[in-house]
Amino acid sequence: MNIIPQGVTAAKPQHPLDPLSPQEIQSAVAIVRESGIGQAMRFVSVALREPEKQFIADYQTGSTWDRQAFVIAYNPDRSETHEWTISLTNQNILLHEILRDVQPNILLDEFIVCEEALKANSEYQAAVRKRGITDMDLVMVDPWSAGNYGDEDNNRQRLVRALSWVRQDPTDNGYAHPLEGLIAVVDLNTMAVVRIEDYGVIPVPKESGNYAVDRVPVLRDDLKPLHVIQPEGPSFTVDGYQIRWQKWNLRIGFTSREGLILHTISYEDNGRVRPIIYRASLAEMVVPYGDPRPQHNRQNAFDAGEYGIGMLANSLELGCDCLGTIRYFDAHLVDSRGKPFTIKNAVCLHEEDFGTLWKHTDWRTNRPEVRRSRRLVISSISTVANYEYGFFWYLYLDGTIQFEVKLTGIVNTGAVNSGDRPKYATLLDDNLMAPIHQHFFNVRLDMQVDGPNNSVVEVHTESEQPGSNNPLGNAFYAKSTILQTEQEAQQIIDPFSARYWKIINPHVLHPKTKEPVAFKIVPGENVLPFAHRESSLVRRAGFITKHLWVTPYNSQELYAAGAYPNQHPGGAGLPSWTQQDRPIIDSDIVVWYTMGHHHVVRPEDWPVMPAAYIGFSLKPSGFFSANPALDVPPQSPLHGSCEV
């Protein structure tokens, strides 16, 4: 992270959706400070206050607009969350609200100071020594969000439940050595240790879990280099934050909470620019664990809403995180003291070969026609303590849009007594274990398929009853139902009926079928939560109980679990909004898709986990008149060989 120097003149943004520059962040903070907020205030985020959708639709290059920032800060002395809307154009405050019943996400410096405060606490030191640890410098502390379980503390304190591990040396993988049974509850407002919970000593696992290249004794020596080269350069062009690739056109954004955002995705079809998605973003994610023991039964982290997935983004590296001809984008954020900082190379843009696009061989003429598939990759990777999450958006030559999460890093660990066979976990070594858990992601899709007014159709397949219409019993057909209201649109996947959902524009008909043009959601891997419906987790993360939600557009409804899930008792976000059961036909709608990865940990996931993949696709379904990739030219490779 590079701190931006003070006193630098702000460059004028090229477009109203461009993320804030470091200078604009600095200006917004200065305006807030001038209002007399005091030195105790901690800045949570400073991000672009996006203009109204209609303004963006009407915007012409060279037009002027009121550039605005949205600032969130927290006063620990008064337990108050503050929100400001700032006019950067006019250098004034447009709106200031004080919220006294919410907690913003945990800040990076709170993690650091929490660890320092805990290591200095005599009661904690004594509990660590009971486990045979004498060097506090080797102890690792991960402050986990405390959640909300009806405790009195939740009403007046900003809490974390800190878990501990220990390294065997300064570069050791400490997650191999958990200090089981030891929990420290810390008030982040005062950095005071509220209490130490000690559920008894379990021997600290001793076996190494190191994975770094200098710790692996023998590396393979027969893996030959694989080079990705584009001698004529990439096929995409970049203008500021606008990206053009083949017939795709879009803009990217970035916030500390959501991370990577895609704006105004459109496709040029025979000279006509056709909008598909106005805004696509990660709306929330939560990781519930299934071990009921005190060390683990409150581990339900909302990695976006409680930590900020963008704040935890990596600086990506050529040849490691991305391969090929790369264009990087930096992310400009703010630290808790109001200083702008930059995460270099937070977003990676490149192209990938993707095998066969289409092929057919006419066996009568023995003439094959084959085209190579290619996709544009827009990605960002975040580290949340032990886990890594890679967020990948793919655009394809055939008009498909795909979202994929790659899960890797180190599984969360605990310890058991030697010889125990844990019911709710997998043994990784003699007394090292990893609990069963799930990862849920919710993606917010502000749709505009060929225009602002859309509807959603549920499609499943049914078998035709035997009879005169089906004399041989082989008939089956796809049945479509328009979803009328928010409650009707709360649905789950059903692979046994081949269920999917179409976002249609009833005002634009396909030239041949005369049906409304559409994109369909094609589900990938998915699961439902196994936590009880009355659990704190499900109350707070109600969005995970359904895979599909649809709401009318509301600029204030951005996050699936509500604006402030940290220590919230539950019910906020999608479960609350959709109680209104608003109509969703032929209107400006937002589609929310939830996907869940179920992780029964394998020994092969240790000490570092091979990437697991989860995602979904948006595929044109009666959007184009025919295969949009017919005009892709054949390719003759410049490099390669064939051995016989």
CA distances from 261 to 30, 72, 174, 279, 420 (A): 26, 19, 34, 7, 46
Distance, in Å, from the CA atom of 594 to the CA atom of 545, rounded to the nearest integer, reads 9
| 338-368 burial: b if 16+ Cβ within 10 Å, else e | bbbbbbebbbbbbbeeeeebeeeeeeeeeee
Q: Above 80 in pLDDT, residue 343?
A: yes
Residue 430 annotated to the active site: no
Got the DSSP string for 201-217?
Answer: --PPP-S----STTT-S
Q: What is the pLDDT of residue 154?
A: 62
State the catalytic residue, choosing from 74, 289, 387, 559: 387
| 536-573 burial: b if 16+ Cβ within 10 Å, else e | bbbbbbbbbbbbbbbbbbeeebbbbbbbbbbbbebebb
Q: Above 50 in pLDDT, residue 183?
A: yes
Distance, in Å, from the CA atom of 519 to the CA atom of 501, rounded to the nearest integer, reads 8
Q: State the average pLDDT over residues 29-44.
A: 94
6-15, 595-604, 626-635: which range is least confident on average?
A: 6-15
Residue with tokens 């770094």: 212
59-63, 170-174, 402-406: which range is least confident on average?
A: 59-63
Q: What is the pLDDT of residue 636?
A: 75
Q: What is the pLDDT of residue 639?
A: 60
> For 109-154, how does the pLDDT look when each residue is reduced to its tens digit (9 = 90+)?
999 999 999 999 999 999 999 999 999 999 999 999 999 998 766 6
Q: What is the pLDDT of residue 3?
A: 31
Residue with tokens 């350069």: 233
Q: What is the pLDDT of residue 5?
A: 32
Q: State the average pLDDT over residues 59-80.
A: 95
- Greater confidence (628 vs 318) lies with 628
Structure tokens at 362: 């006419």
Q: Above 70 in pLDDT, residue 187?
A: yes
Q: Are 577 and 476 in contact (CB under 8 A)?
A: no
Q: What is the pLDDT of residue 423?
A: 98
* pLDDT band of 637, cuts 50, 70, 90: low
Residue 477 annotated to the active site: no
Q: Above 80 in pLDDT, residue 1?
A: no
> For 358-405, how does the pLDDT look when each residue is reduced to its tens digit (9 = 90+)?
999 999 999 999 999 999 999 999 999 999 999 999 999 999 999 999
Q: What is the pLDDT of residue 643?
A: 52
Q: Above 90 in pLDDT, residue 7?
A: no
Distance, in Å, from the CA atom of 436 to the CA atom of 425, rounded to the nearest integer, reads 5
* pLDDT band of 8, cuts 50, 70, 90: very low
Q: What is the pLDDT of residue 153?
A: 62
- Nearest Cα neighbor of 574 from 493, 503, 454, 490 is 490
Q: What is the pLDDT of residue 6?
A: 34
Distance, in Å, from the CA atom of 504 to the CA atom of 625, rounded to the nearest integer, reads 15
Distance, in Å, from the CA atom of 552 to the CA atom of 581, rounded to the nearest integer, reads 10
- 337: which DSSP letter? T
33-42, 174-183, 512-521, 595-604: which range is least confident on average?
A: 33-42
State the catalytic residue, choosing from 303, 429, 446, 605: 303
* pLDDT band of 640, cuts 50, 70, 90: low
Beta strands in 136-232 (DSSP E): 139-145, 159-166, 182-187, 192-198
> For 189-248, how does the pLDDT look when each residue is reduced to its tens digit (9 = 90+)?
999 999 999 999 999 999 999 999 999 999 999 999 988 899 999 999 999 999 999 999
Rounded to the nearest integer, the mean pLDDT of the chain is 95
Q: Mind listing the domains of the chain with CATH numbers?
A: 2-99 (3.10.450.40), 108-198 (3.10.450.40), 236-620 (2.70.98.20)
Q: Are 561 and 286 in contact (CB under 8 A)?
A: yes
- Residues in Cβ contact with 362 at an 8 Å cutoff, skipping those fewer than 6 apart: 368
How large a percentage of the chain has pLDDT more than 70?
96
Amino acid present at 322: C
Q: State the average pLDDT over residues 343-370.
A: 96
Q: Above 70 in pLDDT, residue 592?
A: yes
* pLDDT band of 638, cuts 50, 70, 90: low
**Residue 345, by phi and psi: left (phi above 0), alpha (psi -120 to 50) or beta?**
left
